[in-house]
Amino acid sequence: SEAAAAIRTGRGVLDALSPYDLGQAVVLAGDRILAVEGPEGTDRMLARARALGRRPFGFGRAMPATVLVKAPKVGQDRRIDLPAVGPRTVRNAARAGCVGLALEAGGTLVIDRTATAAEADRLGLFVVGYGGAP
């Protein structure tokens, strides 16, 4: 599916950018990168993605297969500064036109799992964990 392809691309992007100490998240629409997380954090990155991708030039529909992919940097000390998501992340991803979130299993903290899952269900977004090399 297009969303699965976006997740594969996102994983590759995050792995490739890790040596440059850049972001722990990326938003893609299919194979098109809409935003890479910088020092501003996930919420502001999602706001940029919303402006760029939700309705191109203010017209039409949201881009298909828009997905947030989140993972720690390659070689990152997993005892500190792990990427995190929660209900607010899910709401902001939905506002940005995302159809789902892909999180590295064991590498991304889910804050209040029950509320996060309920918010994803309410908004119709998938949340999937992945592991291993892209």
What does the block give as tokens for 88? 């607010």
For 51, other C-beta atoms within 10 Å of its C-beta total 12
- Tens digit of each residue's pLDDT (9 = 90 or more) over 73-130: 887 777 777 889 999 999 999 999 999 999 999 889 899 999 999 999 999 999 999 9
DSSP letter, residue 72: P
Range of 113's domain?
Answer: 2-130
CATH code (residue 91): 3.40.140.80
In what side-by-side order are the strands of the sheet with 66-70?
Answer: 32-36, 25-29, 66-70, 100-104, 126-130
- Tens digit of each residue's pLDDT (9 = 90 or more) over 21-67: 888 999 998 888 999 998 889 999 999 988 876 555 555 555 678 99
How many domains does one find in the chain? 1
- Distance set, CA 89 to CA 25, 63, 69, 71, 73 (Å): 12, 19, 12, 14, 19
Place of tokens 């989140």: 70
**Can you tell me whether residue 50 is helix, strand or coil?**
helix
How far is 80 from 65, CA to CA, in rounded Å? 31
The pLDDT of residue 134 is: 47
